[in-house]
Amino acid sequence: MADVVLVEYPDPAIAVVRINRPEVRNALNLEVRQVMAEIFRQFVDNEKLRCVILTGNEKCFAAGADIDDMSRLEAIDMYLRHTERLWQAIADCPLPIIAAINGYALGGGLELAMHADIIIAGKGTKLGQPEVNVGIMPGAGGTQRLTRAVGKFVAMRLCLTGEIISASEACEMGLISKLTDDDAVMETAMEMASRIAALPPIAIAQIKEVILHGTDAPLSAALALERKALQILFSSKDKHEGMTAFLEKRKPEFTGK
């Protein structure tokens, strides 16, 4: 893969996707998005993989889109890029995704983090949707995922003012899953990824699918989706192993079947 995004496998079951443009605070240009999309598409066929960590470096997750790149584009240029397809490759990943963020997660960087299922942030992290300050608006989920995460009134405040908030405030409003010391973000993410990777993968996949698809469905439909997913899991070998191990007071060995 290109040097703008690095992929590491600290464990066969865990992949770390690292944005690597420190000279521009990991700004998300078209190449970064294309490479990330291809990486996440490949994850779908990796049967050993159980969890993905998405991160930048200790100083910055991603400070937004590459303004130098975007400043030269017109409307049709933006349309022809079809970046929505690149973002969708991440959204469609069936594996749990943990965003491990330090420094800045702004604009497209925050939108990228919101494509994850869990966000772990350092206490010094700054977050926001400041696109309005350069005459545009969020265009990769900042008005929609943010509203679903924190509610209309907070999302309006952040998008309309371009205000940048602290990690502690983001945590209070429900935008962050876990807050930790800046130098402990990756360690915390790895511990969580290892815990998830050790659990039954079919159950993990069903949990993610039901939460994502049930969120925008009527409650009755979402509850039906939940019931059906639970019923499916009763035919898995991992369900038998998990319950047998519990009754026998031993550690289960899940196989993903």
Residues assigned a catalytic role = 65, 108, 111, 131
Two tokens, residue 69: 């790149």
For residue 217, the 8-state DSSP code is S
CB 159 within 8 A of CB 137: yes
Write the CB contacts of 57 (distance below 8 Å, at least 6 apart in sequence): 18, 19, 20, 22, 26, 102, 103
Phi, psi at residue 132, to the nearest 5°? -60, -25
CB 105 within 8 A of CB 149: no
190 CB neighbour count, 10 Å cutoff: 19
Question: Considering all CA atoms of the chain, what is the largest pairwise distance in Å, rounded to the nearest integer?
Answer: 65
Q: Is 140 exposed, middle or buried (0-12, 13-18, 19+ CB in 10 A)?
A: buried
